[in-house]
Structure 1
């Protein structure tokens, strides 16, 4: 195996000195995304718009100095909109001090978060069922959508009930203000298509910033500076300054202070508990998602991170800000723009501070509907049909958990939705386990799960009873006792029920151990029934066989015709693919449909692969077909791609620390680790093969060669023959 060059950057001050340039450049993109989102989140939460930016500034400048994340970005998250709105509703006593009461609740919530981190409860999010959390996030998405769609369309809801507000969005269509709606429509088009437009000028600014920039000309076109009526199709529509963002000329005038006079009342503490729970869950879930995207596979210290965001939340609430969380969209932008250390977070806070001091007059010309459409889009992505489909594919019972939590949250509140969702999970699992109540909880609380150490240095975790979200913390505690680079066997044969959330967690553990050089084997589910064909689905009885798709049938016939192997099942080849630069910061979700030519020293395979960039609401998924060739003996490390492919998909590869190789066709961009070995590899027949081929991207990690054909899409059945020929021709050239 070739030496791995993906060495994690230094931390602390050494990391600052070594990586300041890449972090500084990444922070500009992060700040440009953060500015409109922070303004919109604060506005949607009922706070002054600038309080959102103030929160991000504190999250950047303060949190950076004490936190557990390496590349996460801190600031206000969309998840806290619903709890802050709820706090305003229950704490409004007509005194005019509601904002100050809410700030007090934020400060106390931050103190509790700090305490939770200090007593090492940072992993308590693992004890919450993953689809209950998704249900909560989806409900938050619906709440955001319902509240903001009216602002985006220029209508005024008459009800505070979420479901009724959604209905009114349809009923009030005849009352839409077209001069507001056209701005929102332009913003929505930008948000949908920005990532698909391959024009460098457009790629210069992130989509949220383009929404703001493109909205300002409409403000002047329709003259929002003065209150007046514009006729359209026989109806008059009011436009004026009330449709613009209202921020002060002096940024520091936004500072407000908490009022703790209602600490003895129940509504205050329900608000504190809601803010603590939702802000902590959003942060911990986002941190774990960021860890999966980090190309250096670093892990967040969740306890330290909870302390850091807790302290920052206390400071933020004390001067008029929102709760500080780890935010996935801005963190994804940071990773995609090659931010390497925590100092990107610090720089983005500095840039936001500069924006607010120097760009306030410009921000005052941004219409409210531009911010609203950003949040409408965010809300939709949190509760999109795609989420429902993904959950259903995990098993019908998972859709019940998800949907039940979603509905309970919408019809009651976030706390009832959270605890009601967990109770629903236990009820369904009890019915599936077909046992008594006493035995059911006995198998959860005292299952007999234990860890064994064998003489050969390996470990075995024997899981028993009911393996669900409640048993997660104990199981995690046992797994944490196992040293890195160990060989681990996880035996699930004595379980009565294994929930999706447990198998999902164990799969993440297996991937983490593989990254560290360990080995994990999970077995014992051969006699369990699966609730769906998903490999991580809930297990209680024997697994049913999966029927092959038409694509798999065609590929199997093609493989048999040539005397090759075909394997349609999903396999874990992630470790091999992650050794290539292309997949460093991407989450590989599925590798399947493999045609394998083996039995020789040089062998290859072609497979379908699904991967994801970003995470949560920033996620973008791709499906493609790739070739993978293994050659015995050392290979030069290199990347070769047609320049069009580079512009569309591989902008991130400008960060590869290889040297440019000019001794090749100008139609290709070539980077190499060592020019001499590359000269030896690129014989004249090999050069001609690459130039004449349809191949868009070729990459070597030192042991294997990764091959992309055409676009990032699954190859048509008719296109496989072309890939076969290229691989066989390359194999023949290499043999000579």
Structure 2
């Protein structure tokens, strides 16, 4: 009940921001909806209907948080082709045929969502997604920059629009173009407001978002000329928002008479395919922009989009998709939940019905400035700099996607990005067969450990965007208030997409009170010094050292912080000496390969480290990685091995060892398996305080070789949380062992029976 109340209060407290954001988005969605409809040869109102219906239905039934829905850029070509060809040139008849196709496509979208095929969104590499975002940003910037300068006549593709920017700037210097110059000044000043808004610290100015100031100032300028100036309003009508007078009349009726026609079926399939892909890409891209790092339910969203497309088609509107440009505007203006999408629809209705006169006063140059700034944010040079830090291979994927998207279309661009990523992965691993052999093998093993209740996930083979869905399915079943450990120590290759996606889980688990830790990445080579760089057991470059302190994984940095907190030392490097481990019974039949990630005190009494060792031979040989603590003792004590009853009892009995009973503590003897070569000395050493310590603390495998102790809990790498617990356990145990007066007891009690 308390959680429900918190969610309700959060929702209510966020309403003002979402209302403002919905208002700003509606100002952009209005001309875009009209323009996309006109570009498709559909009635202008059809684009507004799609935005209104989509915003209301998807905000109620959808599974995303900050996305905006409406007509999409990617479908203009398909809809234009359908409207102009389905009725052999009769545009209106082709339009009502297309409405029927939109309705059928919506039904297919519902089926796709119900079959949970939204998993396709997990098969897009992160750098390709970021390249797509940058390409969209460049396209928005290129198209809207000319409009911001009051030049609406320039058409063409993105590259030609970029090349024509100097021409638009120089056209402002042409004499007798006063109305164009004023409109352009309004656009440029609007851009300045967008850029410098965050640097103005006045609390009253900050009450309204930057786009709101732009709209209010633009409308105020119009009213100034109407009521206070004798001069005519200098901005011509063709540079103001255009709204038809009869926007709500004559709703058409869809025509299903071609439903079995192959051409009609082809249109339905094309609309469905592009709508699904564009929406999935946009949802995944917007999730990366979400300030709260929430994950959308893409299947629920696809179902909602299908319902919205059916409703829109029956009302005469275009199909509904998730749109990246308007969604990014929503995020940039403080949109925090689905209510922003709903409010954007409500404002569209209000504007179209009640405020046509005011809307007609807004210069297109002012709205274009908002989009120019949005485009720049999506394609800012800082984004390229961040990509370059991750690795040079990510820059290649990034640019391949941008170039392909700008020169072709969104779908071709993302396909090129995927292909480029696969080729680069082949090159990095120097093998195509490595991926072919392992692609269809189950590579994720998850189980819940007894006692601690920790969820442990081991990933083997390779982990990339190609098979990330398997790992994601496992992770989605773990309650976010629990502890989870994801181990990559037996994974040969881990790509950037997987590591970036796992960051979202870490944030979610932390917010819900759980912990989400990643182990095993520090044994890999890295493509750069970035913590999310591609990791592979095959070395990348001699210039990048695996064990460089500037190339530490998050776990290694956390271990380093632990050492710093204790004023101890941390060494991530591999030590191929056995470090005295072979003196312990546990390692007698095992071959230690190396230790790494050592934390130790200045006096070398305590040392926690990761250990890789092999056990068995030939076919049965296996590698094991674990984390253990060794404690150098100040005095000699009996040699013993202590473990939980039942774990090693059978093995040791087979080897001739017998469980040593502590008669004064029968409960301890039932719970623990204690053995050693000298039972009499061991009984003498296990004083009451030591027995009580073992009984009242978690179980560990503990060995003593006479001069030092060995402690470990599980034959896997420990999480940072477990390392802290092990260190706490070991330091308390060392104090008790050091205080036991064993030598005096042995001398005074020579007749103790075994």
Equivalent residue, structure 2, for 1:658: none
**1:586-612: CA deviation from partner (whole Å, max 9, x where unpaired):** xxxxxxxxxxxxxxxxxxxxxxxxxxx
Residue 247 of structure 1: SS of its match in structure 2?
coil
Q: Find the partner of 1:445 among 437, 440, 444.
A: 440
1:84 paired with 2:76, answer yes
Trace 1:665-704 onto structure 2 (pairs within 5 A).
none
**1:538-577: CA deviation from partner (whole Å, max 9, x where unpaired):** 11236352569xxxxxxxxxxxxx998999x9xxxxxxxx
CA shift for structure 1 position 103:
5.4
1:531 paired with 2:523, answer no
Equivalent residue, structure 2, for 1:180: 183
Equivalent residue, structure 2, for 1:66: 61
CA shift for structure 1 position 63:
2.9
In 1, distance between residues paired with 2:205 and 2:47? 26
CA shift for structure 1 position 66:
1.9
Equivalent residue, structure 1, for 2:582: none
Distance 1:564 1:86, change over 3 A: farther
Equivalent residue, structure 1, for 2:162: 166
Equivalent residue, structure 1, for 2:33: 42
1:144 paired with 2:147, answer no
CA shift for structure 1 position 427:
0.4
In 1, distance between residues paired with 2:22 and 2:224? 28
Residue 464 of structure 1: SS of its match in structure 2?
strand
In 2, distance between residues paired with 1:251 and 1:100? 17
Does the CA-based 8 Å contact 1:45-1:85 persist in structure 2?
no
Distance 1:136 1:89, change over 3 A: farther
In 2, distance between residues paired with 1:54 and 1:199? 39
CA shift for structure 1 position 492:
0.9
Does the CA-based 8 Å contact 2:146-2:154 persist in structure 1?
no
CA shift for structure 1 position 423:
0.9
Equivalent residue, structure 2, for 1:422: 418
In 1, distance between residues paired with 2:193 and 2:103? 37
Equivalent residue, structure 1, for 2:405: 409
Residue 252 of structure 1: SS of its match in structure 2?
coil
**1:21-61: CA deviation from partner (whole Å, max 9, x where unpaired):** 64654453233222212124325535477656544432443
Trace 1:167-246 onto structure 2 (pairs within 5 A).
167-176=163-172, 177-216=180-219, 240-246=236-242
Distance 1:447 1:466, change over 3 A: farther
Does the CA-based 8 Å contact 1:316-1:324 persist in structure 2?
no
CA shift for structure 1 position 520:
2.7
**1:694-725: CA deviation from partner (whole Å, max 9, x where unpaired):** xxxxxxxxxxxxxxxxxxxxxxxxxxxxxxxx
**1:355-409: CA deviation from partner (whole Å, max 9, x where unpaired):** 3322111101222222222222222222121221122122111111111011111
1:373 paired with 2:364, answer no
Trace 1:316-355 onto structure 2 (pairs within 5 A).
316-318=312-314, 319-321=316-318, 323-325=320-322, 328-329=327-328, 332=331, 336=334, 346=342, 349-355=345-351
Q: Find the partner of 1:33 among 24, 34, 40.
A: 24
Distance 1:446 1:269, change over 3 A: same
Residue 488 of structure 2: SS of its match in structure 1?
strand
Does the CA-based 8 Å contact 1:37-1:208 persist in structure 2?
no
Equivalent residue, structure 1, for 2:450: 455
In 1, distance between residues paired with 2:313 and 2:196? 37
Larger Rg: 2
In 2, distance between residues paired with 1:566 and 1:245? 66
Does the CA-based 8 Å contact 1:433-1:496 persist in structure 2?
no
TM-score, normalization: structure 2? Answer: 0.61
Moved more, 179-188 or 474-483: 474-483
User: Unpaired runs of 5+ in structure 2?
Assistant: 173-179, 540-544, 552-564, 573-754
Distance 1:333 1:394, change over 3 A: closer
Residue 156 of structure 2: SS of its match in structure 1?
coil
CA shift for structure 1 position 305:
2.7
Does the CA-based 8 Å contact 1:39-1:50 persist in structure 2?
no
In 1, distance between residues paired with 2:569 and 2:363? 57
In 2, distance between residues paired with 1:197 and 1:165? 33
In 2, distance between residues paired with 1:24 and 1:141? 28
* RMSD after superposition: 4.1
Residue 525 of structure 2: SS of its match in structure 1?
coil
In 1, distance between residues paired with 2:2 and 2:532? 30
Does the CA-based 8 Å contact 1:38-1:49 persist in structure 2?
no
Equivalent residue, structure 1, for 2:275: 275
Does the CA-based 8 Å contact 1:433-1:440 persist in structure 2?
no
Moved more, 116-125 or 399-408: 116-125
In 2, distance between residues paired with 1:529 and 1:461? 21
In 1, distance between residues paired with 2:501 and 2:350? 42
Q: Find the partner of 1:543 among 543, 546, 549.
A: 546
Equivalent residue, structure 2, for 1:611: none
User: Unpaired runs of 5+ in structure 1?
Assistant: 231-237, 549-561, 570-736
1:111 paired with 2:110, answer no
Residue 249 of structure 1: SS of its match in structure 2?
coil
Does the CA-based 8 Å contact 2:278-2:322 persist in structure 1?
no
Distance 1:25 1:118, change over 3 A: same
Distance 1:282 1:501, change over 3 A: same
Distance 1:251 1:333, change over 3 A: farther
In 1, distance between residues paired with 2:271 and 2:280? 14
